[in-house]
Homo-oligomer: A and B are copies of this chain.
């Protein structure tokens, strides 16, 4: 019997997953949580074999929650769940100790396949269906930070003031972003940032 725990802030997704899983004889949903805090609370005195974990939680990012859970309960397998088909999260969750990655609009059979795969000790990282050329670029921490501020509408000057560097530096980061993401202007940068959930 595979014990599954679900953490996601959307009641419908939780219900949907539960239903899909309850029909299976070898799987048991041992608990659900709607935020990172109560998920961590559960794992203080309980455990599970697999966690289906939303990447976008209200109180904490799935990346952080993933690391924390794996630190406390290393044996538990984590399957990251998200709506967004972004390589960035894929990579980050992998680095944070997750065993697999699923899109939220996945089918029941894929979900079960993923659970069985990670329980067998393997990983479940399906490649992206239509990964564009930009999906394998790696942005540095600073670049992501600057990109987020650009996307919020700050000018180079404002960003410089905010992160305590000169405008030249912000400008450099901006140029690197444009070149890495093959974007030709701010609009294209913001477009990328939002599609990839950087902000």
Contact = CB atoms under 8 A, between A and B. Distances in A.
A14 B16 CA distance: 7
A12 interface: yes
A104 B15 contact: no
Nearest to A11: B107
Contacts of A155: 185
A155 B187 CA distance: 9
A12 B11 contact: no
- Stoichiometry, as copies per complex, reads 2
A40 interface: no
Contact of A152 (B19, B153, B188, B194): B188
A106 interface: yes
A78 to B, nearest CB: 18
A15 B11 CA distance: 11
B19 A151 contact: no
A172 interface: no
A161 to B, nearest CB: 15
Contact of A184 (B83, B105, B153, B188): B153
Interface string A121-154: 0000000000000000000000000000011111
A18 to B, nearest CB: 7
A12 B155 CA distance: 41
Residue among A16, A17, A187 having the largest count of chain B Cβ atoms under 10 Å: A187
Contacts of A14: 16
A187 to B, nearest CB: 5
A13 B16 contact: yes
20 contacts: A9-B105, A10-B104, A11-B20, A11-B105, A12-B12, A12-B20, A12-B104, A16-B17, A18-B19, A83-B83, A151-B187, A151-B190, A152-B187, A153-B184, A153-B191, A154-B187, A155-B185, A186-B186, A190-B190, A191-B199
Interface of A: 9-20, 83, 104-108, 150-155, 183-191, 194-195, 199
